[in-house]
Chain A
Amino acid sequence: MRIVLLMVVVIVGLLLRFIDVSNDPPGLYVDEVSIGYNAYQILTTGKDEYGIAHPLWFRSYGDYKLPVYIYMVAGSMAIFGKTEFAVRFPSLIAGILTIPLFYLFLEKLVCLEKDTVLRKRLTYVPLLASFLLAISSWHIQFSRGGFEITVGTLFYLLGVYLFIMWLEKKKTWSILVSVLSFILAMYTYHTFRILSPLALLFIAYREKVYKHPKTLPAILAVVVLCLPIILFTLSPHGSERFSATSAFAQLKMTNIWQQLINYPLLFLSNYLSFFSFDFLFSFGDGIGRHQIPLFGELYRWQLPFFLAGIYFLLRQKKSIIKNTTLLLFLTAPLAGALAVPSPHALRSLPLVIPCMVLIAIGVVFIIQKIHRFKIVLLSLLIIIATYEFLFYLHFYYVHYPQVNQLDWGAGYKGIVQATSQQKSKYTYIVVDDVLNYAPEYFHFYDPSIRYMMVSESWQKPKKWGDAPVLYIRPFYGQRTGKDLVANIYLKGINHDIYAQLWEIK
């Protein structure tokens, strides 16, 4: 019966992640396009966009991307071709696989629970928590976009799960694969460059590896596997990302005493912001790519259960589920707190795992506490939860593609498509550099287009003579004109113009 229910949960998760994924989110945003282009280059030439053969770090827009996701997209492009779907496919699959893995992880934790009464009370938590993950707006949002963090979270959870398995059965393969998963997560997304080493140090401490000389070769292997990313992190290229997003760089303090006091406090302030109710339940991080407007990272109906889950866990004395959940809960925002803006839904995606456990425990324990009107209250809960979920779906499929299309680079694809149709008629194609992401989109959708980026005040050089020029620029207010080649419209009922193609004679 449990297997059937788990399969239903996975199918629900699959449908919520797959349906119309190529069109909603509405368009590939610039990082996805960059990933897609590099992956395609790797697949076809074995080199990245800068001509480096099978690189470990991919240079892209002022920073360097980690390799795992790009190579995965190269694999998915081998199957699906150079499409939006192929760019999002690894994230989708990772998002779906996280659901059954999460179930197995919780099932294992419950099995290891020594308190038999507590173990019995927790029986339904794994199934409920994995269902909550399947319908979680936070997890759905990142599974449906080409985000490396979704794959990283899968590896990270796999690492934790296999480590728990190691605690139970002491099978060598489980600890080896666990460590490898943490290392893979490090090579997948920046957040795990902090979280994975912490997890590895925790394992080393917990297993007292320093007392066992036999583990030395394994430790050396881990160091060797981590060495490239450690060296990369310490290099100027690797630290570019940190410098660009660092919370501390913004303070611009040179006095060491000021730094000693202010940096930890700023870190703490950022760290605490990840637990803010405003972030979790009502507003999210305010970044359009990360959430649906009007929604936090968790559903509103989950708030009382989230608090109840924390309460019930804190009431337990010695419990593996308490320790593991609280450890994951408290460590997940550590990497995100080093950067701005804080809170940040993307960088803290691993937080969704302990949050779902807390909510599931809250639901189960409250239901067990209620003796009167149980059916009525349960029905009420289901009605409210279903309503909010439908409300979310309505916003996701109706409002989001219209309201947040600019967050997803909407308009750029239209520019490339219109330019592709016109390119043969023009000797020169110039693009106003206000459309600064245009090069990435040209590379991805039509690399055959030859263009030049020009400033807003550009004028046709005299040496070009009468050669026809296609001038691509943002919409500055003039809707029509005899030299207007095409308007690029945004989706939605307003027919807003995003950009225009003009002929310059």
Chain B
Amino acid sequence: MGNKVTKSIIVILSAIVEVLTLQAWFICKAFTDIFHRTSINLALQLDDYIHADKGTPLLFTRLFHNKLIQIVFDYLRFYLQFWDVRFGSNWFSLIGYFGIFSGFYYILANKKKKIYHWIAVIIILLLPFIEIIGEPQVNVVVKSFYLWFPFILFSIYGLYQFLLHGNRTVRFIVVLLLLLISFLWLITLHNGIVRYCIMI
């Protein structure tokens, strides 16, 4: 069961399921505001917080409610949305999401890391910033080229690595089970994308 052909077949099947997630990218006009820097009005947010600070020493107000801290918190919130399991399982499929984290794990665990490992990790980690900082009105189909495609490639790498290591029979079963769940998920729980997508 652990031969190269079986492994390749499973990875190809996983890739097919992951490709099916493209339908979500094609029916969306844009991502919702929860990813975009432009969705926040910093001055208004700070006004709101400072308003409740009446009676608090000015030092504390300045320390806790300033632009720098607010920007850091907001950007972190946007960034984490991309790595959220609810986003990943709908936009890259459950198996795709699993593959992405598996990819990170095996690259980190690899004692003979090559330069291209680091490049892949850095690219994947930085990609969401294009969406956060960039133009939210760019069509999601276009975005799929620079957001979906690299993530899926990385995910397939992660799945392949997962199948290469450890108890292979158990891992085959895990991946097959995830594959089945991902497929059913895409059919039945597809409305999970609503939170992230403005439909065409």
- Which residues of chain A are within 8 angstroms of B60 by Cβ–Cβ distance? 394
Task: Name the contact of A398 in the complex, choosing from B52, B77, B85 (C-beta under 8 A).
Answer: B52
- Which residues of chain B are within 8 angstroms of A277 by Cβ–Cβ distance? 80-81, 83-85
Known A281-B80, A399-B52: A265·B192 in contact at CB below 8 Å: no
Q: Which residue of A lies closest to B90 (CB)?
A: A269
- Which residues of chain A are within 8 angstroms of B189 by Cβ–Cβ distance? 265-266, 269
B64 within 8 A of A: yes
Chain B CB count within 10 A is highest, among A275, A398, A492, for A398
Query: Would you give the shortest CB distance from A365 to chain B, in whole angstroms?
Result: 12
B109 within 8 A of A: yes
- Which residues of chain B are within 8 angstroms of A269 by Cβ–Cβ distance? 86, 89, 185, 189, 192
A283 within 8 A of B: yes
Query: Would you give the shortest CB distance from A368 to chain B, in whole angstroms?
Result: 16
A405 to B164, CA, bound (A): 54
Task: Name the contact of B85 in the complex, choosing from A273, A281, A395 (C-beta under 8 A).
Answer: A273
Query: Would you give the shortest CB distance from B188 to chain A, in whole angstroms?
Result: 6
A214 to B132, CA, bound (A): 64
A276 to B158, CA, bound (A): 20
Q: How large is the interface on A (under 10, 10 to 19, 20 to 34, 35 or more residues)?
A: 20 to 34
A270 to B104, CA, bound (A): 25
| Contact, CB under 8 Å: A403 / B52 | yes
Chain B CB count within 10 A is highest, among A276, A300, A390, for A276
Chain A CB count within 10 A is highest, among B53, B63, B83, B86, for B86
| Contact, CB under 8 Å: B76 / A402 | no
| Contact, CB under 8 Å: B181 / A493 | no
Known A265-B181, A398-B52: A283·B77 in contact at CB below 8 Å: yes
B130 within 8 A of A: no
Q: Which residue of B lies closest to A399 (CB)?
A: B52
Query: Would you give the shortest CB distance from B45 to chain A, in whole angstroms?
Result: 10
Task: Name the contact of A275 in the complex, choosing from B49, B54, B85, B108 (C-beta under 8 A).
Answer: B85
- Which residues of chain B are within 8 angstroms of A314 by Cβ–Cβ distance? 105
| Contact, CB under 8 Å: B53 / A278 | no
B198 within 8 A of A: no
- Which residues of chain A are within 8 angstroms of B51 by Cβ–Cβ distance? 493
A262 within 8 A of B: yes
Tell me the residues in window 36-57 of chain B with beta carbons closer than 8 Å to chain A beta carbons. Answer: 49, 51-54, 56
| Contact, CB under 8 Å: A261 / B52 | no
Tell me the residues in window 251-286 of chain A with beta carbons closer than 8 Å to chain B beta carbons. Answer: 261-262, 265-266, 268-269, 272-273, 275-278, 281-283
Q: Which residue of B lies closest to A394 (CB)?
A: B64
- Which residues of chain B are within 8 angstroms of A493 by Cβ–Cβ distance? 51-52, 54
B118 within 8 A of A: no
Known A283-B77, A394-B60, A492-B52: A278·B86 in contact at CB below 8 Å: yes
A294 to B77, CA, bound (A): 10
A268 to B184, CA, bound (A): 12
Query: Would you give the shortest CB distance from A229 to chain B, in whole angstroms?
Result: 32
- Which residues of chain A are within 8 angstroms of B109 by Cβ–Cβ distance? 311, 315
A311 to B105, CA, bound (A): 7
B73 within 8 A of A: yes
- Which residues of chain B are within 8 angstroms of A294 by Cβ–Cβ distance? 73
- Which residues of chain B are within 8 angstroms of A395 by Cβ–Cβ distance? 64
| Contact, CB under 8 Å: B81 / A278 | yes
Task: Name the contact of A278 in the complex, choosing from B63, B80, B181 (C-beta under 8 A).
Answer: B80
A391 within 8 A of B: yes
- Which residues of chain A are within 8 angstroms of B108 by Cβ–Cβ distance? 311
- Which residues of chain B are within 8 angstroms of A266 by Cβ–Cβ distance? 189
What per-residue 1/0 map shows which CB atoms of B75-100 lie under 8 Å from chain A?
01100110111100100000000000
Query: Would you give the shortest CB distance from A350 to chain B, in whole angstroms?
Result: 19
Task: Name the contact of A276 in the complex, choosing from B84, B181, B188 (C-beta under 8 A).
Answer: B84
- Which residues of chain B are within 8 angstroms of A311 by Cβ–Cβ distance? 105, 108-109
- Which residues of chain A are within 8 angstroms of B53 by Cβ–Cβ distance? 398-399
What per-residue 1/0 map shows which CB atoms of A490-502 lie under 8 Å from chain B?
0011000000000
Chain A CB count within 10 A is highest, among B56, B85, B108, for B85
Known A265-B188, A266-B189: A282·B54 in contact at CB below 8 Å: no
- Which residues of chain B are within 8 angstroms of A394 by Cβ–Cβ distance? 56, 60, 64
| Contact, CB under 8 Å: B185 / A265 | yes
| Contact, CB under 8 Å: B85 / A272 | yes
Query: Would you give the shortest CB distance from A212 to chain B, in whole angstroms?
Result: 30
- Which residues of chain B are within 8 angstroms of A403 by Cβ–Cβ distance? 52
- Which residues of chain A are within 8 angstroms of B181 by Cβ–Cβ distance? 265, 268
- Which residues of chain A are within 8 angstroms of B77 by Cβ–Cβ distance? 278, 282-283
| Contact, CB under 8 Å: A282 / B80 | yes
Q: Which residue of A lies closest to B82 (CB)?
A: A277
Q: Which residue of A lies closest to B187 (CB)?
A: A261
Query: Would you give the shortest CB distance from A115 to chain B, in whole angstroms?
Result: 18
Report A's interface with B, CB cutoff 8 A: 261-262, 265-266, 268-269, 272-273, 275-278, 281-283, 294, 300, 303, 311, 314-315, 390-391, 394-395, 398-399, 402-403, 492-493
Given A269-B192, A272-B89, 14 other A-B residues pairs in contact with their CB atoms under 8 A = A262-B188, A265-B181, A272-B85, A278-B77, A281-B80, A282-B73, A282-B77, A311-B108, A311-B109, A390-B63, A390-B64, A391-B64, A398-B56, A402-B52
Contacts A/B (CB < 8 Å), 22 sampled: A261-B188, A265-B181, A265-B189, A266-B189, A268-B185, A269-B86, A269-B89, A276-B85, A276-B86, A277-B80, A278-B81, A278-B86, A281-B76, A282-B80, A311-B105, A390-B64, A391-B69, A394-B56, A395-B64, A398-B53, A403-B52, A493-B52
Report B's interface with A, CB cutoff 8 A: 49, 51-54, 56, 60, 63-64, 69, 73, 76-77, 80-81, 83-86, 89, 105, 108-109, 181, 184-185, 188-189, 192
